[in-house]
Amino acid sequence: MQRFILSRKNQAALVSAILIVIGFISALVFRNGTAADTAFIIASVLGAAPIAIQAYQALRVKVVSIDLLVTIAVIGAFFIRNFEESAIVTFLFLFGAYLEQRTLNKTRSAIKELTEMAPENALKQMPDGGFDEVGISEVDTGDILLVRTGAKIPVDGTVLSGEGSVNEAAITGESLPVLKSEGTKVFAGTILESGTLRITADRVGEDTTFAKIIELVEEAQDSRSKAERFIDRFAKYYTPAVLVLGALVLLITRDIELSVTILVLGCPGALVIGVPVSNVAGIGNGARHGILFKGSEVINEFSRTDTIVFDKTGTLTAGNPSVAEKAYYGNDTDKALMYLASVERESGHPLAKAVLDEIGETELRPVENTEVVKGSGIIASVDGHMVAVGNAALMEREGIKLDTKAKADIARFEKNGNSLVLTAVDGELKILMGVRDQVRPGVKENLYKLKKLGIRNLVMLSGDNQGTVNTVSRELGLSEAHGNMLPQDKAAYIRKLIEEGRIVAFVGDGVNDSPSLALADTGIAMGAGTDVAIETSDVVLMNSDFGRLPHALGLAKATAGNMKQNISIAVGVVLFLLAGVFFSNWMNMSIGMLVHEGSILAVILNGMRLLRYKLRNRSSDETK
């Protein structure tokens, strides 16, 4: 019976509302007091039944709930034959609970949207070579799947053949499609907008990136912050305190109506709901923008950050060396580039790929008599010409003369943190290229946004040499930059900052970053990084999009501020109502309950504003 009544709370509220209208019409229009009282009594009983059951269930686990306050207040209203107010109080309480649940469901829409995006079926290759549709649970690692235009990609995998545009908004938050072809990675839950792909399954079921995102967001929205735990404890003791206050007022004044009114007005409903709705909405906004907060406590801690420490490679920089600067000498540059590409194609050195990417499509010639000079470069014969490709030491060894301009260029390239690739043809320097891991596009502008959000210290730690680190630091305008650091050195530096009283966030992506991510007040992992880094972090930026970091910090600050606003609204309304009882003649149960439910709706709507939060674009003044 209890379950049946509780499952019909919304219907009870609706019927109560109709009966209250009938009661007022009977009293005001037909002047029939008996009919009016009958309608109000039935409305009160219907409304009080689920409230009383909830109060009883709470008492069974030794919790004095808000429902008990309302139940006692309704009984008191019956005792003084104030049926009109008891009916209105129970209706407003149930209607407030309905609005609360409805709006909380909206704030949790990120989870619902993600769950609905989860693929249910896949086209799996059978032993006869054909493809049959099977449930996603029947797909195993290594299976070959077919994905057609408009279909959801069912697993994390690698493209075997085909080409198509994939909408990865579910994973990265980006709406622009990404071109996929042989050898590229695809993710479960993303949508193939055009083309056809054959993929091999790398991760299936709960191991996919998409499933982990859902799990992280669910865990985050179910977690409780210190503020929520404090308010739970506060409500646990506050509710009995209101009961005692009501009893004392009754003993002193002998005024049952005043005592009952205090019970109604003292309900801390807005205080109890205000903080959770802010946190749930903030986490939902983050999920929609490719930012995963692992709990509401993370949001509060991150909002207080004053120092952000960055790993360099793969975080501030792209992680892939590329040609940053180049200079040409003499004539026949095109032929020299062709000879250079021909030689570098034979090399497995990391700089060779950067050089080939820079040159692009060009004619390649046969390479003969190749000699690898360890630690210096390569000497070879191309089309009968002797080609030397390597560093300055190789040029000196081969007796290549460097004029004043070339020496000045070399000094400038080295000062800028480049690794040098020099190319000489038949004893004459032709090409100088500077290769380095370049800063990610937009990083400088995003660092400026972080400063505008109150970050006082921007620090870079790297295992790279100090010269390269200094170059990147100057370009980005960082507060500090330290090179030649091993993982334990980075962790020790984070510990030192925390001991100095700074509130530190660390941003990284590699296994070597895991100790620092775990040690920092807030660990932030780039989503394309290692699983270990992601597991030990508190915040994940999907798709390694550095541009999401300012939004994440701004959202954390907005959520923390919103939570404080809700607490202020809730406490302010309760104090106002109680003051109205003792110092005015117009306050009664109905008005108090209306204001009380209005405060609950106010904190819910205030919290829901976070679902629409966007970091405002500010002019960077050339990012200063």
Active-site residues, by number, are 311
Separation between Cα atoms, residue 143 and residue 157, nearest integer Å:
10
Task: Establish how many alpha carbons lie within 13 A of residue 189's alpha carbon, considering only the half-sphere containing its beta carbon.
Answer: 24
φ, ψ (nearest 5 deg) of residue 198: -105, 125
Q: Which of the 8 DSSP states describes residue 521?
A: S
φ, ψ (nearest 5 deg) of residue 582: -85, -25
Q: Which two structure tokens, joined as six digits, stand for 3?
A: 């379950």
Q: Which two structure tokens, joined as six digits, stand for 491?
A: 């962790």
Nearest to 227 by CA among 286, 284, 296: 296
- In terms of Cβ atoms closer than 10 Å to its own Cβ (0-12, 13-18, 19+), residue 261 is buried
Q: Which two structure tokens, joined as six digits, stand for 288?
A: 């929609």
Give me the sheet containing 504-508, strands edge to edge.
291-293, 539-541, 522-526, 504-508, 307-311, 457-461, 480-482
Separation between Cα atoms, residue 440 and residue 547, nearest integer Å:
10
C-alpha of 547 from chain center: 12
Separation between Cα atoms, residue 266 and residue 248, nearest integer Å:
14
Separation between Cα atoms, residue 241 and residue 76, nearest integer Å:
18
420: three-class secondary structure by DSSP: strand
Sign, Cα dihedral of 54, 60, 65, 66? positive
User: What secondary structure, in 3-state letters, does 454-479 show?
Assistant: CCCEEEEECCCCHHHHHHHHHHHCCC
Separation between Cα atoms, residue 350 and residue 323, nearest integer Å:
12
Separation between Cα atoms, residue 74 and residue 82, nearest integer Å:
9
Give me the sheet containing 385-390, strands edge to edge.
317-328, 428-439, 419-425, 385-390, 377-382, 367-373
* Residue that the structure tokens 């801690």 belong to: 301
Separation between Cα atoms, residue 599 and residue 607, nearest integer Å:
12
Q: Which two structure tokens, joined as six digits, stand for 416?
A: 């800028």
Q: 163: Cβ–Cβ under 8 A, 6 or more apart, which residues?
A: 179, 180, 181, 182, 195, 197
Q: Which two structure tokens, joined as six digits, stand for 425?
A: 């043809």
Separation between Cα atoms, residue 591 and residue 584, nearest integer Å:
13
Q: Which two structure tokens, joined as six digits, stand for 256?
A: 């049952």
Query: Are 70 and 90 contacting, i.e. CB atoms less than 8 angstroms apart?
Result: yes
User: What secondary structure, in 3-state letters, does 247-309 show?
Assistant: HHHHHHHCCHHHHHHHHHHCCCHHHHHHHHHHHHHHHHHHHHCCEEECCHHHHHHHHCCCEEE
Which DSSP helix (H) or strand (E) runs through 155?
A: none
